[in-house]
Structure 1
Amino acid sequence: MNLRQVEIFRVVMTNGTTARAAEVLHVSQPAVSKMIKDLERSLGFDLFSRIKGRLHPTPEGQLFYREVEHAYLGLSHLRGAAARIRDFGSGELRIACLSALSTNVLPRALSAFMSRNPNVAITFQARMSSTVRDLVASGQFDLGIVADEIDQTGVTVAEFSQFRVAVGVPGGHPLAKLKMIRPQDLDGVPFIALAPEDTTREEADAVFEGLGVKVRVVMETPYSTTICAMVAAGIGVGLVDPLTAEPYVGRGLTLIPFETGLYFRTLLITPPNRIASRHLEEFVNDLKQAI
């Protein structure tokens, strides 16, 4: 089996007849028929049934055609990648980010970057920090923005940002009248908590336990944006970072400073042993400006 035989088989399947395939390929019909027979001989099974002079794909031929199409899709992707590299160098950025910064910092940074680099292809996904870490560690993504509780093995890590924790309370809630909320003020209050493995959640739990405060956890979620949405819906209060809360303030959520000095901390991670492209370095600078 060779690539020319496979190409001719694909053209026959696409056009339906050897005569039409011969026209497309600018070869004779007997040459097409011979190539198909040679391919069948090398594969060890018939690709077509020949009925009254016409070719009809066998089940094996149809199955083989599906595999051929998969291979050609891969080749098409390679051609596209080669064209981007030829025209723009390393003209692609693949970025993954935790949800909390995906609706604020990331859009601002991307807007600034793409205004200067309109031809750079951007792939972006908002995922849980643990998933972002796996995507970067495997080399599938060039840059990840994650919370600091991730497993840091297998990635290159740099500190990115920290935001002081505030308390999000529903509009009209008794706590909304306070200028500062103490941990004791949350005793017995319906509370929307971050996931147990979250570093900020662990630090907050230690503060509550040390003061004998028992918050009434009604929901757990790994996403700060979900906490904000649930607070705005009146389900409970929650610890949030002010940046994530911005779109919800005045729309069902009131943001109150938290007396305890807790912080949300984020990291930038990249694949190990990989030299950062010029585009990646430029985008990281835009990220820092967008905080």
Structure 2
Amino acid sequence: MNLSLRQLTVFREVMRSGSISQAAKTVARTQPAVSTMMATLEQELGFPLFLREHGKLTPTPEARYFLEEAEAILARLERTKQALSKINALETGRLRIASHPAASGLFMPRLLTGFLKDKREVEVSLIMRSSGVIEDLVASQQFDIGFAETPRPRASIDQVDFDLECVCVLRADDPLARKPLLSPDDLDGKPMAVLFEDHTTATQTEFAFAARGRSFNKRLELRTFMPGLQFVSDGFCYMICDMITAYSHILQGSQPSSLTMRRFIPRVGGSVSILTPAYVSQARLAQAFSAHLAEAIARMREETEAYLDAAGRG
């Protein structure tokens, strides 16, 4: 038996209209073509679908039963078409995203809000984990996208790296805020907040002081930079922090702030990466969000640099 979707569609229209001529108009075919198609369908099935008497069609009981099957098949096909259309338009699907702490508080939620605005049927799993844990989650294909501090290359992970400049955070009323750039000379012996001992930003910052023969006063050691903003605001310390934390603060610029930011020399870098599983093809939705994330990182860098330039000019 060799049935086609066209045959099922035409048969349904004949049953609905009760007329070959009316069905032909509905499906935009000629009347002889529809008659031939119904005759061929009956041959394939092996039993008559209509009794033809005095130019009228009377459906057989078998035709009524077959109509239920045909409508079920065509309805399923229509649902499939709609689902595929939504997939193509990125309107449905699921995203599993793992983000490191610096981006989880404001940057990633704001980014997702914009991305999901016209995608009401997209489901999202968003978790915050340390960068090392994120690597393993992506490598094991438990998550579609990871946003983390740049790891060492692994065969099981594809990564796109972004080198970001760290900035110096200080109180807006601090005398040092009058300077466009800050260096170890300016912060000599002043209390500092840094991340844990083996973090790259901590080692770079400490090395910058040592290279200039300046005293590095580590008053606070943190796991993430976000709480450091409060310590700086309360006058406890200064902080050389990652751009994402700084940018998250800039995004809240409509709120009064006691903080400001300046460039720090020599440059302290903080690289981040978009991570995806290497051994599976990425879904279109994940590809689109990865591109959206990359654009947001570039925009963040531009806006933060513009802020630093404006702040440096006073």
Fold shared, TM-score > 0.5 on shorter chain: yes
1:117 lines up with 2:123 in the alignment: no
Asked if the contact 1:232–1:248 (Cα under 8 Å) also holds between the matched residues in 2, the reply is no
Matches within 5 A, 1:25-104: 91-104=93-106
- Provide TM-score, normalisation by structure 2: 0.59
Question: Who is 1:238 aligned against?
Answer: 239
Shift of 1:153: 3.0
Question: Who is 1:284 aligned against?
Answer: 290
Between the two proteins, the alignment pairs up a number of residues equal to 205
SS at 2:181 equivalent: coil
Q: Which consecutive residues of structure 1, in runs of 5 or more, have no partner in the other structure?
A: 1-85
Superimposed CA distance per residue, residues 73-128 of structure 1 (whole angstroms, 9 cap, x where no aligned partner): xxxxxxxxxxxxx8976811110111222244423431232123221110101222
Shift of 1:220: 1.4
Asked if the contact 1:145–1:268 (Cα under 8 Å) also holds between the matched residues in 2, the reply is yes
CA distance, structure 1, for counterparts of residue 215 and residue 284 of structure 2:
50
Asked if the contact 1:234–1:252 (Cα under 8 Å) also holds between the matched residues in 2, the reply is no
What amino acid is the match of 2:273?
A: L
1:272 and 1:227, CA in 2 relative to 1: closer, same or farther beyond 3 A?
A: same
Asked if the contact 1:200–1:263 (Cα under 8 Å) also holds between the matched residues in 2, the reply is yes
Q: Which consecutive residues of structure 2, in runs of 5 or more, have no partner in the other structure?
A: 1-82, 251-255, 298-314
Shift of 1:217: 0.7
- Provide TM-score, normalisation by structure 1: 0.63
Question: Who is 1:156 aligned against?
Answer: 157
Matches within 5 A, 1:134-213: 134-148=136-150, 150-153=151-154, 155-213=156-214
1:255 lines up with 2:257 in the alignment: no
Question: Who is 1:271 aligned against?
Answer: 277
1:128 and 1:229, CA in 2 relative to 1: closer, same or farther beyond 3 A?
A: farther
RMSD between aligned residues: 2.4
CA distance, structure 1, for counterparts of residue 141 and residue 121 of structure 2:
22
CA distance, structure 2, for counterparts of residue 281 and residue 253 of structure 1:
37
Superimposed CA distance per residue, residues 232-288 of structure 1 (whole angstroms, 9 cap, x where no aligned partner): 232211112344224546522211111222222111112230111000000011112
CA distance, structure 1, for counterparts of residue 119 and residue 163 of structure 2:
28
SS at 1:96 equivalent: strand
CA distance, structure 2, for counterparts of residue 184 and residue 230 of structure 1:
22
SS at 2:186 equivalent: helix
Question: Who is 1:11 aligned against?
Answer: none
Shift of 1:170: 2.4
Shift of 1:226: 2.4
What amino acid is the match of 2:275?
A: I
1:178 and 1:144, CA in 2 relative to 1: closer, same or farther beyond 3 A?
A: same
The ranges of structure 1 where at least 4 consecutive aligned residues each deviate by more than 6 angstroms after the TM superposition are 86-90
Question: Who is 1:217 aligned against?
Answer: 218
What amino acid is the match of 2:147?
A: I
What amino acid is the match of 1:126?
A: M
CA distance, structure 2, for counterparts of residue 160 and residue 229 of structure 1:
29
Shift of 1:171: 3.5
SS at 1:120 equivalent: strand
Asked if the contact 2:191–2:218 (Cα under 8 Å) also holds between the matched residues in 1, the reply is yes
What amino acid is the match of 2:133?
A: T
1:155 and 1:228, CA in 2 relative to 1: closer, same or farther beyond 3 A?
A: farther
